[in-house]
């Protein structure tokens, strides 16, 4: 298995905690933690297996650090890259846009040739709509700190087990 | 997020990026320093900062084409208007309310940026009500087959106003070229948007509307906003129907300088809205993607500072308005009748009923002026032309483009009249404001709005509208088919109010109303539409000037001053007294309530020394009180007795005929009061 990077904003608290849990679940010291606030093309492209932390902001937007990187992503050839997305949303507070950030990022990455992995079932979630939904599955891992925080560890552990196979 | 990628950080040419940055820097600098003018007691006492709306406001201004489009900005649209072409100096002149403010010379509130000369309209503080004006002007654009769009901009919370729904419904139904922009910063002053409507994105409330496309964009992002606005404008042109652009923004500061957002927003929120500052993001992108060097950006920033400094200096040296100017531009000069300067004629031909006088005058005016339009509820369906058939046959003769029904939405009828009139000053619009005057109340906000457009724009925009309303009772109509509303309207400066009684006067006043600039409320005494008592000969070209009363009977013992439905009652009494040798009386039919014929009133008072004021409306609070006050102030020494009044009781008008008769004035009550005065 090639070296894996978890890219997320080091300024975040909740997303950062999930990133730490993912790293811990992998139980692999070689997994790199990369700050999305300082991401550059060459850093991003240096990994073939990437886990991206993409929270949803406002009423369905990417956070600035990702949004400002989109023009760079749109110029990349991501063929051969395996990318898994995890996102944080609030099913009750923002039920119309649950995990939209993950959905938006998924569309951008796929358009550049990336292979997305780590899809998860929507079972156990209750929201109105999500751009991250394809059929019965999210295009990544959905974390809801506000309403289902107690399920985070199990969800992360299960997802990492899945990724170990899909990254292999 | 727009799928249109015309603009991006990588593709957009450097000159354009520099232009945008400079607009944003100048706008933000003025936005930031506006509160200082208040602190220094210079002005700008109302300032609604736009910071956080930068992307969408830049985009609205950039797609605005002053040759073809109409822009209706709201009070937070400083960058919108700067981007649309208003200079920094013009922004400051508006902020500190100087005489040279292009919006209206300091007459309207600060932060209401406009330039009517360029179709950047001077809009109300009544937030969101300009949606109806955008729809109205778009209707004219469609009817006259000219290119362009009407762009209406507002905050997301003002969408809660009922008239916004009326506007979007109408634009959708009439398929009009309107872009409704909702700038969503999450708050209406301190009220979170969750308290406004169930959808977090209020634009989604309109998903069931036909002929309406809804776009969403990131209003904090310059490129997404530009791409969305360009796409929206192209969509309107291609599909010929309206769109909504819902732009997500942040409000970095308080709602305005009378609000303190730290009372209801926590530090976390205040911190993150700062982090999402659109201007800072744009600057970061310019550096990140190597479109500009730091040195280049600093040079542009210095240019912007210089622009603002010079604008400030010019603003501080600009003249203040003079106090004497308050009487300028209250209402435009009316059409002047050369043939009938006093509104009198000697025609002795066949008598015509009042309703026929109105119908024939409308048709005659529509024949001679192709830029005339009429609409209202129920005005045109085959053989029917209005609830009383005043507009009968008009649609058949003038077509559906000029004569058409409105929805049952009085504010829409009135508001789109205001909007359509903005297309150009040749248009003359007649509306049946409501089925009955009683139903005009929902339109009052637009009516009040329309009353001061001319004044607050310092004469740059005159709504040229005749509002017809079937008024009064005596038909067994009950509480909602009997009301008189003149006492509520005459206190409004900027509105002419006429209330004829006889067929010839109705025809003559209607002609003058339609030919005049400005707004005329034309009250029709519906009980007299078909009355033979008020049927008269009517010269084909008859005109009655505003503010000219008419003596319908002449005498020397008593003056009765009246108008509307009670005039024929007073005439009947005068004839009876004359025939019976009891008294000879002046019966002065006012015809116009505003302007009022003071000279005619004072002349009859001086002649007889005794005055009875008669009107159908309630005595308490009725228009007659104004007449009594005038006579008291101007002719007290000529009075031989108290000025008395006859009118309705201080009650609603009951539906049962017995109740109605107990409420409304009749000839017996007038006779009793007249007799008392004669014997005084």
Terminal C-alpha separation, chain A: 6
Please identify which residue in the block is written with the tokens 């009135």: B414
Q: What are the Cα distances from residue B350, in Å, to B503, B538, B540?
A: 12, 8, 12
- pLDDT tier, B523 (very low <50, low <70, confident <90, very high otherwise): very high
Q: Is B281 on the interface with A (CB under 8 A)?
A: yes
Q: Is A36 on the interface with B (CB under 8 A)?
A: no
Q: Do A68 and B199 touch (CB under 8 A)?
A: no
B103 in Cβ contact with B87 (< 8 Å): no
Q: Is B31 on the interface with A (CB under 8 A)?
A: no
Domain B354-528 has CATH 3.40.50.970: yes
Q: What 3-state class would DSSP assign to B393?
A: coil
Q: Of B625, B584, B630, B628, which Cα lies nearest the Cα of B608?
A: B584
Note the pLDDT tens digit of each residue in B322-381. 999 999 999 999 999 999 999 999 999 999 999 999 999 999 999 999 999 999 998 988
Task: Note the Cα B565 to chain centre separation in Å.
Answer: 28
Determine the average pLDDT of the residues in B589-597: 98
Residue A2: the pLDDT is: 60
For chain B, helix, strand, coil in percent to 5 are 45, 15, 40
Nearest CA in chain A to B204: A96
Q: Do B289 and A71 touch (CB under 8 A)?
A: yes
Q: Burial, B45: exposed, middle or buried (Cβ in 10 Å; 0-12, 13-18, 19+)? A: middle
Q: What angle do CA B124, B130, B133 make, to 5 degrees?
A: 125
Q: Do A58 and B9 touch (CB under 8 A)?
A: no
Strand partners, A7: A34, A52
- Maximum distance among all alpha carbons in chain A? 39
Cis peptide, bond prior to residue B595, ω within 30 of zero: yes
B514 in Cβ contact with B372 (< 8 Å): yes
Q: Is A15 on the interface with B (CB under 8 A)?
A: no
Q: Do B200 and A67 touch (CB under 8 A)?
A: no
Q: Does residue B7 have a pLDDT over 70?
A: yes
Residue B383: the pLDDT is: 85
Which residue in the list B108, B246, B253, B481 is annotated as catalytic?
B481
What does the block give as tokens for A150? 């107690």
Q: Of B334, B337, B341, B353, which Cα lies nearest the Cα of B525?
A: B353
Determine the average pLDDT of the residues in B557-568: 98
Residue A168: the pLDDT is: 76
What does the block give as tokens for B393? 């046959």
Angle between helices B162-174 and B410-421 (to 10 degrees): 70
| Cα torsion angle, B108, B424, B175, B63, sign | negative
Angle between helices B410-421 and B444-451 (to 10 degrees): 30
| Cα torsion angle, B361, B362, B365, B368, sign | negative
Active site residue B70: no
Q: Is B201 on the interface with A (CB under 8 A)?
A: yes
Chain B residues with CB under 8 Å of A67 CB are 218, 221
Q: Do A97 and B200 touch (CB under 8 A)?
A: yes
Q: Residue ranges per domain, chain B?
A: 14-276+289-319, 354-528, 550-678
Task: List the single residue in A58, A60, A68 with the smallest CB-CB distance to B285.
Answer: A68
Q: Do B9 and A71 touch (CB under 8 A)?
A: yes
Q: Do A96 and B199 touch (CB under 8 A)?
A: yes
Chain B residues with CB under 8 Å of A57 CB are 276
Q: Would you list the DSSP string of A36-74?
A: GGG--HHHHHT-SEEEEE---BTTTB--HHHHTTHHHHT
Q: Would you list the DSSP string of B145-173?
A: T----EEEEEESGGGGSHHHHHHHHHHHH
The low-confidence residues of chain A, meaning pLDDT below 70, are: 1-2
User: Domain A4-167 falls in which CATH fold?
Assistant: Rossmann fold (3.40.50)
Q: Burial, B467: exposed, middle or buried (Cβ in 10 Å; 0-12, 13-18, 19+)? A: buried
* CA atoms of B92 and B97, how far apart (whole Å): 8
Terminal C-alpha separation, chain B: 81
Q: Residue ranges per domain, chain A?
A: 4-167
Chain B residues with CB under 8 Å of A100 CB are none
Determine the average pLDDT of the residues in B297-307: 98
Q: What 3-state class would DSSP assign to B314?
A: helix
Determine the average pLDDT of the residues in B399-420: 97
- Which helix (H) or strand (E) segment holds residue B645: the answer is strand B644-648
Task: List the single residue in A59, A64, A104 with the smallest CB-CB distance to B248.
Answer: A59
pTM over 0.95, yes/no:
yes
Q: Do A61 and B284 touch (CB under 8 A)?
A: no
Residue A1: the pLDDT is: 46
Determine the average pLDDT of the residues in B457-479: 97
- Please tell me the distance in Å from A72's CA to the nearest CA on chain B: 8
Please identify which residue in the block is written with the tokens 């909602």: B480
Task: List the single residue in A68, A71, A104 with the smallest CB-CB distance to B10.
Answer: A71
Task: List the single residue in B1, B184, B250 with the smallest CB-CB distance to A104.
Answer: B1
Neighbours of B137 (CB within 10 A): 31
Domains B354-528 and B550-678 share a fold: yes
A88 in Cβ contact with A18 (< 8 Å): yes
Q: Do A59 and B200 touch (CB under 8 A)?
A: yes
Q: Does residue B3 have a pLDDT over 80?
A: no
* CA atoms of A99 and A43, how far apart (whole Å): 25
DSSP A31: P
* CA atoms of B601 and B332, how far apart (whole Å): 24
- pLDDT tier, B1 (very low <50, low <70, confident <90, very high otherwise): low
Task: List the single residue in A61, A64, A96 with the smallest CB-CB distance to B200.
Answer: A96
User: Domain B550-678 falls in which CATH fold?
Assistant: Rossmann fold (3.40.50)
Neighbours of B475 (CB within 10 A): 15
Q: Is B275 on the interface with A (CB under 8 A)?
A: yes
Nearest CA in chain B to A100: B1
Q: Do A97 and B276 touch (CB under 8 A)?
A: no
Q: Would you list the DSSP string of B92-132?
A: HHHHTT-TT-TTTTT-SPTT---BGGGTB----SSTTTHHH
Considering the domain B14-276+289-319 in this protein, what is its CATH number?
3.40.50.970
- Helix spans in B188-262 (H): 222-239
User: How many CB contacts within 8 angstroms connect chain A with chain B?
Assistant: 33
Q: Is B287 on the interface with A (CB under 8 A)?
A: no
Q: Do B221 and A75 touch (CB under 8 A)?
A: no
Q: Does residue B16 have a pLDDT over 60?
A: yes
As a whole-number percent, the residues of chain B with pLDDT over 70 amount to: 100
Nearest CA in chain B to A39: B288
- What part of A 60-89 touches B (C-beta under 8 Å)? 60-61, 64, 67-68, 71-72, 75
- pLDDT tier, B385 (very low <50, low <70, confident <90, very high otherwise): confident
DSSP B654: P
């Amino acid at each position: 298995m090639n070296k894996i990077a978890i890219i997320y904003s080091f300024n975040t608290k909740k997303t950062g905690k999930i990133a730490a849990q993912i790293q811990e679940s992998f139980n692999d010291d070689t997994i790199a933690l990369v700050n999305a606030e300082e991401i550059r093309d060459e850093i991003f492209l240096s990994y073939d297996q990437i886990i991206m932390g993409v929270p949803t902001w406002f009423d369905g937007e990417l956070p600035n650090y990702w949004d400002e990187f989109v023009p760079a992503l749109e110029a990349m050839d991501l063929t051969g890259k395996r990318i898994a997305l995890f996102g944080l949303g609030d099913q009750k507070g923002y039920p119309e846009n649950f995990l939209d950030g993950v959905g938006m990022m998924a569309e951008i990455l796929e358009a550049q040739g990336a292979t997305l992995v780590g899809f998860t079932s929507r079972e156990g979630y209750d929201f109105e709509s999500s751009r991250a939904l394809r059929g019965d599955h999210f295009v990544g891992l959905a974390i809801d700190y506000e309403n289902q925080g107690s399920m985070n560890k199990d969800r992360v552990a299960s997802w990492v087990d899945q990724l170990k196979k899909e990254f292999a | 997020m727009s799928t249109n990628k015309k603009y991006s950080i990588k593709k957009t040419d450097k000159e354009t990026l520099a232009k945008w940055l400079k607009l944003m820097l100048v706008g933000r600098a003025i936005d930031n320093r506006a509160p200082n003018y208040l602190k220094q007691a210079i002005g700008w006492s109302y300032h609604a900062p736009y910071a956080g709306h930068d992307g969408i406001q830049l985009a609205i201004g950039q797609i605005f084409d002053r040759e073809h489009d109409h822009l209706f900005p709201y009070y937070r649209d400083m960058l919108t208007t700067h981007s649309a072409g208003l200079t920094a100096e013009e922004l400051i002149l508006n902020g500190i309310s100087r005489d040279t403010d292009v919006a209206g010379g300091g007459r309207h509130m600060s932060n209401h940026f406009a330039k009517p000369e360029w179709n950047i309209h001077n809009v109300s503080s009544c937030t969101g009500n300009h949606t109806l004006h955008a729809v109205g002007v778009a209707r004219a654009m469609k009817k006259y087959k000219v290119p362009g769009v009407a762009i209406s901009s507002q905050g997301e919370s003002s969408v809660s106003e009922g008239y916004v729904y009326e506007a979007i419904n109408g634009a959708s139904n009439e398929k009009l070229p309107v872009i409704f922009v909702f700038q969503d910063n999450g708050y209406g002053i301190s009220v979170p948007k969750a308290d406004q409507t169930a959808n977090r994105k209020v634009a989604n409330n309109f998903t069931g509307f036909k002929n309406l496309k809804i776009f969403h964009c990131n209003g904090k992002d310059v490129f997404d906003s530009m791409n969305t606005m360009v796409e929206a404008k192209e969509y309107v042109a291609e599909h010929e129907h309206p769109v909504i652009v819902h732009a997500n923004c942040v409000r970095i500061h308080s709602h305005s300088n009378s609000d303190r957002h730290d009372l209801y927003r926590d530090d976390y929120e205040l911190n993150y809205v700062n982090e999402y500052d659109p201007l800072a993001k744009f600057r970061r992108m310019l550096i990140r993607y190597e479109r500009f060097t730091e040195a280049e950006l600093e040079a542009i920033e210095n240019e912007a500072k210089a622009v603002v400094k010079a604008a400030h200096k010019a603003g501080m040296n600009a003249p203040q308005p003079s106090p004497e100017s308050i009487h300028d531009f209250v209402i435009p000069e009316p059409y002047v009748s050369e043939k009938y300067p006093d509104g009198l004629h000697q025609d002795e031909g066949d008598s015509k009923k009042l309703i026929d006088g109105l119908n024939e005058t409308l048709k005659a005016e529509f024949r001679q002026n192709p830029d005339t339009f009429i609409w209202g509820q129920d005005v045109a369906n085959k053989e029917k032309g209005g609830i009383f058939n005043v507009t009968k046959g008009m649609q058949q003769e003038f077509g559906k483009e000029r004569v058409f029904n409105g929805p049952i939405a009085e504010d829409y009828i009135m508001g789109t009249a205001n909007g359509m009139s903005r297309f150009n000053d040749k248009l003359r619009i007649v509306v049946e404001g409501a089925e009955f005057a009683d139903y005009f109340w929902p339109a009052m906000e637009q009516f009040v709005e329309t009353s001061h457009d001319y004044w607050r724009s310092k004469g740059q925009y005159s709504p040229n509208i005749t509002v017809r309303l079937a008024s009064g009772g005596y038909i067994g109509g009950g509480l909602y088919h009997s009301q008189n509303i003149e006492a509520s309207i005459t206190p409004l400066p900027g509105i002419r109010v006429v209330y004829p009684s006889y067929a010839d006067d109705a025809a003559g006043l209607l002609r003058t109303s339609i030919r005049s600039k400005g707004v005329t409320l034309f009250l029709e005494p519906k009980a007299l539409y078909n009355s033979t008592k008020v049927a008269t000969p009517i010269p084909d070209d008859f005109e009655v000037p505003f503010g000219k009363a008419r003596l319908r009977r002449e005498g020397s013992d008593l003056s009765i001053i009246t108008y509307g439905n009670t005039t024929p009652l007073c005439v009947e009494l005068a004839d009876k007294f004359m025939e019976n040798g009891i008294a000879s009386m002046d019966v002065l039919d006012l015809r116009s309530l505003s302007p009022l014929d003071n000279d005619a009133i004072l002349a009859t008072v001086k002649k007889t020394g005794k005055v009875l004021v008669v009107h159908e409306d309630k005595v308490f609070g009725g228009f007659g009180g104004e007449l009594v006050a005038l006579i008291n102030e101007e002719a007290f020494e000529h009075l031989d007795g108290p000025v008395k009044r006859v009118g309705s009781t201080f009650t609603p008008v009951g539906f049962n005929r017995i109740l109605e008769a107990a409420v409304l004035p009749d000839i017996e009550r007038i006779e009793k009061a007249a007799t008392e005065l004669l014997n005084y």
